[in-house]
Amino acid sequence: MDKFNLTKAYVQRVNESSKVNFKIPLLEIKELEKYPFLLVIQSVIENNIKISIYPLKREKIVKVSLSGFNLTNEIFEGLSKIFEGLSKKVIHTSGVIFIEKRLFYECYLNISMSEEKTKNLKASFNKIKNIFEEIKIEEIGLKKIEKKQT
């Protein structure tokens, strides 16, 4: 885990192979043929890696990362209100995590950077910007596959 990221993620096409060949039963995902992409989220903590895989219909999604030192019921209520309208768009969340007296939160949303919901999200966070040390909204998209050189 680096300074501000609890997880790393990328999107890949279902039919692309990865560097590591795990026996993950993707075929057991219901109606996999409707999802041309996979969101792969990796959390690395000391001696273990947690991987979550979500089928997607789009190749780009939004990741929200928050970190700071202040934590009150008021802050939780504010965050709840911000995410309330996006609850059906949440793909994955880290939940609130404390590391060395610091609050971290990450959330992956099934929206794109160009959607009005993302613009509203940015405006909502700007209203409470002084609460968090860092607020990062970024796009996660298709991972570029490295070509083997011969």
Catalogue all structural domains in the chain, each as residue range(s) with its CATH number.
8-140 (3.30.70.260)
What six digits make up the tokens of 95?
Answer: 């939940």
Q: What pLDDT sits at residue 100?
A: 79
CA distance 142 to 9: 10
Q: Where are the alpha helices (DSSP H) in 7-113?
A: 73-84
Q: Using CB atoms within 10 Å of the CB of residue 61, give its burial: 0 to 12 exposed, 13 to 18 middle, 19+ buried.
A: buried
Q: How far is CA 120 from the centre of its chain?
A: 18
CB 37 within 8 A of CB 55: yes
pLDDT higher than 90, residue 42: no
Tell me phi and psi for residue 121, to 5 degrees.
-65, -45
Q: How far apart are CA 106 and CA 91, in angstroms?
A: 11
What would the two tokens of residue 147 be? 């070509």
Summary mean pLDDT of the chain: 79
pTM for the full model?
0.77
148 or 30, which is more confident: 30
**Which residue type sits at 86?**
L
d(CA 65, CA 43): 14
Say how far apart CA 112 and CA 59 lie, in whole Å: 9
Q: Outline where 2-84 has alpha helix (H).
A: 73-84
Q: What is the tens place of the pLDDT at every residue in 78-136? A: 778 888 878 889 999 988 888 877 888 899 999 988 888 888 888 887 776 566 778 88
